[in-house]
Amino acid sequence: MRYLLAGLFCIMTVTGNTQRDTAKYIGHTLSNVDYHHGQLTPVVGVHNIQTFRANREHPEWAGGMNWTYNHQPMICYWNNTFYLHFLSNPVGEHIAPGATYLLSSQDGYHWSNPITLFPPYKVPDGFKKNEDTAVAHNIDAVMHQRMGFFVAKNKKLLALGYYGVALYAKDDPNDGNGIGRVVREIKTDGSFGPIYFIRYNHDFNEKNTNYLFYKKSKDRGFVEACDELLSQPLQMQQWVEEADRNDPLIPLQKQLKAFSYYHLPDGRVVGFWKNALTSISADGGKTWMYSPLRAPGFVNSNAKIWSQRTDDGKYITVYNPSEFRWPLALSVSDDGIRYKNLLLVNGEITSMRYGGNYKSYGPQYVRGIQEMNGNPSGGDAWVTYSVNKEDIWVAKIPIPVKSNVLNDVNEDFNLIQDGLELNQWNIYSPLWAPASIEKSNGKKFLSLKDFDLFDYAKAERVVPLSESVKIEFSIAPLQNDHGRLDIEIQDAKNTACIRFSFTPSGNIVTKAGYREKTLAKYEAGKQYDFVVELNTRTRLYTVSINGSKPNNNIIFAPIHKVHQVCFRTGEVRRFPDADTPTDQNYDLPKAGEKDKEAVFNIYNFKSIKQ
């Protein structure tokens, strides 16, 4: 009876904490992994921008890099510049050599070529881990870091990395048996200071490593910045996986992964870890109120989860809300405790061009800008993530977060103030399939280009929810013998009810059930003005092109209300799915090659609720 009562007390205690002060998801929306987008409603105005695209065959198209395992990006904003670094290996995870590369950008849209931040590091021959028979011989370390940047009070920017040791493909480099954590300064002119060790693992010290200990630096400001970092429990908590298992700097010694956190107005700290584990600290991370538990209602597997306070005084948590690494979504909380919704950030999965050890499909391992690491102008939230552990991306998330618009749309890109044209548009913009505003002959337009064999450009415009709507837009294709543009009218779950296509054969078609119905031929360089009138109750619509007599049709899939219109330079993707084998051990044909460029220019867009 005593044990039963004790068990009930523990349950009541956890339940009490859960109800009182544990972060939780109280919404009812769940993602559906049968769709890459999870059938989640998009956040209005998110811009997903590819910053690095792997290429083994043509390193000249990837800033000189030919390594194809690229993952775990970190981001900060300092000196009016975004800095982003990611770890890299030639083919697969935990297979040496490893290095960390740095990208930078002034605006978040145009990024530099990668620069080596932390180069490969040789593991001493003869090194072995306790309780493991493998012995190092002529191998390099691999990078593995859960923390990327730190902006000190003296305004110095520190970049950090960790040299771990994986003695074989399935060995764990963040098991506390690595070499140690390194640090270097990024200076205001973009140059770097020397590399130093800031923390060693138990088998290493100044005498058997290649870089000096940070205390040996003659730069007092640099040493001061490192000391400040080492004094902060919340920063040290991020080091737990890689540090010695008894490192006194780590407040919570449990092997919880990928820590992120934010402060509440009362000074308490809410922490999140992988698997949506959460706890709260009342003393700045020195101690935690209860052992981290799964945040009630949150769905998250072994992928990173990112949480932060936003400029509107609310909070967002960005993560993969499934047992897979798709989609990338967010929840919003008014108080930092109760999360009320689930919305889409990125629901795209391009082809994994290069197979490799532990490579997972999807947009994953999201990380944002920590509280002390800068705040870009404009109030938007910026996060970075990898796709397929291969390519690196950022997302700009408008704040406040919205999922709907209320007013009819009437946009001529040529008449909108420079820089504001796409504020209400969602764009998905790979480096080889960019979606952006361009100008020609004094006229601005939204240009969708595509020379990517495996990906596409996409632009979406959310419109007022409606059962009856009139939609107008004008498009000029610059070719009629290659490339494809699909235009879909969709509901809030991304279900298309109408699809028009500019096909590679020079036809404009509409999807009619199983078949395609030809509406017109099209010419390269000619503008096509569409007028579509749709009623979701009757499931009927008409379409007129360049003033032609309206063509009567029935929608190919039923929806209740129109929510958005999507322009996409490729067909719908459904691979991978929940039953796809976990590991891809093959490369795709022509993985590093370019396609013939196709261009579609959109000049205006109008939506009127009827």
- For residue 80, the model assigns a pLDDT of 97
Which pLDDT score is estimated for 18? 40
Could you write out the DSSP letters of every residue in 593-607? PEEEEEEEEEEEEEE
φ and ψ of 437, to 5 deg: -80, 130
Q: Is 262 helix (H, G, I), strand (E, B) or coil?
A: strand
Residues 244-250: contacts with CB under 8 Å, at least 24 apart: 244/176, 244/201, 244/202, 245/176, 247/199, 249/199
Given this model, what pLDDT does residue 20 score? Answer: 57
Give the residue ranges of the chain where pLDDT is below 70. Answer: 1-20
DSSP alpha helix (H) spans, 198-307: 220-230, 233-237
CB 363 within 8 A of CB 394: no
Sheet containing 277-281: which strands, arranged edge to edge? Answer: 260-263, 269-273, 277-281, 293-294
Question: Could you tell me which of 318, 347, 321 has the C-alpha nearest to residue 333?
Answer: 318
What would the pLDDT profile of 446-476 be if each residue is shown by its tens digit?
Answer: 999 999 999 999 999 999 999 999 999 999 9
CA distance 408 to 397: 22
CA separation (Å) from 250 to 147, 230, 253?
14, 10, 6
Q: Report the pLDDT value the prediction gives residue 495, as an integer from 0 to 100.
A: 98
The predicted structure's pLDDT at residue 7: 39
pTM: 0.95
305 neighbors 318 (Cβ within 8 angstroms): yes
pLDDT at 21: 86
Q: How far apart are CA 365 and CA 240, in angstroms?
A: 17
Cβ-contact 42, 403 below 8 angstroms: yes
SS3 406: coil
Q: What are phi and psi of 59, to 5 degrees?
A: -60, -25
Distance of alpha carbon 196 from alpha carbon 217, whole angstroms = 8
Burial (CB count within 10 angstroms: exposed 0-12, middle 13-18, buried 19+), residue 138 = exposed
- Report all structural domains of the chain as residue ranges with CATH numbers, in order of start: 19-397 (2.120.10.10), 409-584+592-609 (2.60.120.200)
Q: Which two tokens stand for residue 351?
A: 């082809």
HEC readout, 438-488: EEECCEEEEEEEEEECCCCCEEEEEEEEECEEEEEEEEEECCCCCCCEEEE
